[in-house]
Amino acid sequence: MAISEQGEVAGYAYGYFSQPGQYYHGLLSKAFNPEEYQKWLVDCFEFVELGVDPAFRNQGLGKQLVNRLLEGTGEKTAILTTQLDNGSARRLYESLGWGVIKEPFYPNDEGQPYVIIGRAI
C-alpha cells in the first residue's frame, strides 16, 4: 500500500507464492507446455493486482509499488495476466522489464482474451 502526503491511500499491489492446487496456478499451468511450466511456474510469485487512485496516476507510483512488492519476494520468476487490450498496463510492465509469455490466453469461458506476462526476479 502507498500513502499520499495527505494520508490517503494512493495505491496498492499484492501477490503471493504460486503453488499447485491454487486456482490461478491451475489455469496458468493449462496454458503452458512442460518446459514453460518449469521455467515460469516453479518457484513463482503471482503478481495479482495493482491499483492506483486516478488522482495519483502518472506520477511513477505504479512502478514503485511493483518494484517494492517484488523486492520482498524470494522466488525466481514473477508472472501476471492482464487483458490483451490493456495498453497502459502492458506499457507499465514492459517498462519494468516484463515480457509477454503467451497471448492470447483465455482464463475462462467468457471469451475475453488476456496476455500472460512474466519476468525473472
Query: Model confidence over 1-51: pLDDT tens digits?
Result: 565 657 778 899 999 999 999 999 999 999 999 999 999 999 999 999 999
Residue 29: which domain range? 2-120
> What's the farthest any 2 CA atoms get from each other in the chain?
49
In one letter, which amino acid is 49?
E
Confidence at 119, pLDDT banded by 50, 70, 90: very high
- Give the DSSP letter of residue 31: H
What pTM did the predictor assign? Answer: 0.89
Name the domain count of the chain. Answer: 1
- The position carrying cell 495505491 is 11
- Count each helix (H run) and each strand (E run) in the chain, helices first: 4, 6
Over the chain, what is the mean pLDDT?
Answer: 92
- The position carrying cell 488522482 is 55
Question: Residue 98: which CATH number?
Answer: 3.40.630.30
Strand 114-120 to 99-105 pairing: antiparallel
